[in-house]
Chain A
Amino acid sequence: MTGLDIGILLLVAACLAATVRMLAGPSEADRAIAGDLLLFGVVGLIALVGVRIGSGYTFDIVLVASVVGFLGALSLARALTRGKR
């Protein structure tokens, strides 16, 4: 059990916790911030699993996913206010 495996397990647990909060959150802001944590967690999982299987394109996808994750967070914030600023 290398450090990468422990990291993958912890990140999967964090993503599952975020999914639970997204399903059970009483307000919409809870669901939005759970989605934000899921976006971060997916970026981390891409990095760890990509290094684990030895892919050559890992960090390309990590860079693109970081940008998309940031845009997703801003879109979630705009969606909370129904498109108004």
Chain B
Amino acid sequence: MTALTLAGDVLVIAGALVFATAALGLLRFPDAYTRISAVGTAGGLGIVLVITGAFLHRPSVPAAVMVVLAVLLQLTTSAVGSMAIARSALLVRTPLSRLRFSELHDESGAEAEPDGGEPPLEALRLEETIADPGEHSERTG
């Protein structure tokens, strides 16, 4: 086992552990928004480590070019995709759970309602939201 293969193994296992942590967060978090934060932060990092580690097992120059392109693409676009899903989740009024302290409600940051409620779309002063698809997302877990 050469040094490159060993480094590749370490990177692959590290990336797969980051991925497994994202999946664990997806299963265990109480709310859609926290799940999106788990996947959005860990997905991009995990996939970059996995692709780099896999490349170190079989290095070659054409593969190096493609791996550099793929890593740059994933680093710049993975968070964008997850945040687009988070924005859409807010616009269709996905319920928010256990809101204890909300900075979106007013500037003083007073206590919000202790139990789960609607996300504070009015505080964001959006001109229009998509209220119609809310029929399906009114169900809470």
| A residues apposed to B, CB below 8 Å | 2-4, 6-8, 10-11, 13-15, 17-18, 20-21, 25-30, 32-34, 36-37, 40-41, 43-44, 47-48, 50-51, 54, 58-60, 62-63, 66-67, 69-70, 73-74, 76-78, 80-82, 84
Contacts and interface: CB of A to CB of B under 8 A. Distances in A.
A27 B19 contact: no
Contacts of B51: 43-44, 47, 62
The majority secondary structure among interface residues of chain A is helix
Most chain A CB neighbours (cut-off 10 Å) among B24, B32, B133: B32
Nearest to A2: B9
Dominant SS among interface residues on chain B: helix
20 contacts: A3-B10, A3-B53, A4-B57, A7-B12, A10-B20, A13-B20, A17-B26, A17-B27, A27-B140, A27-B141, A33-B39, A44-B51, A50-B54, A62-B67, A63-B69, A70-B78, A73-B81, A76-B85, A80-B92, A82-B133
A2 B56 CA distance: 14
Given A40-B46, A44-B50, A74-B81, A27 B26 contact: no
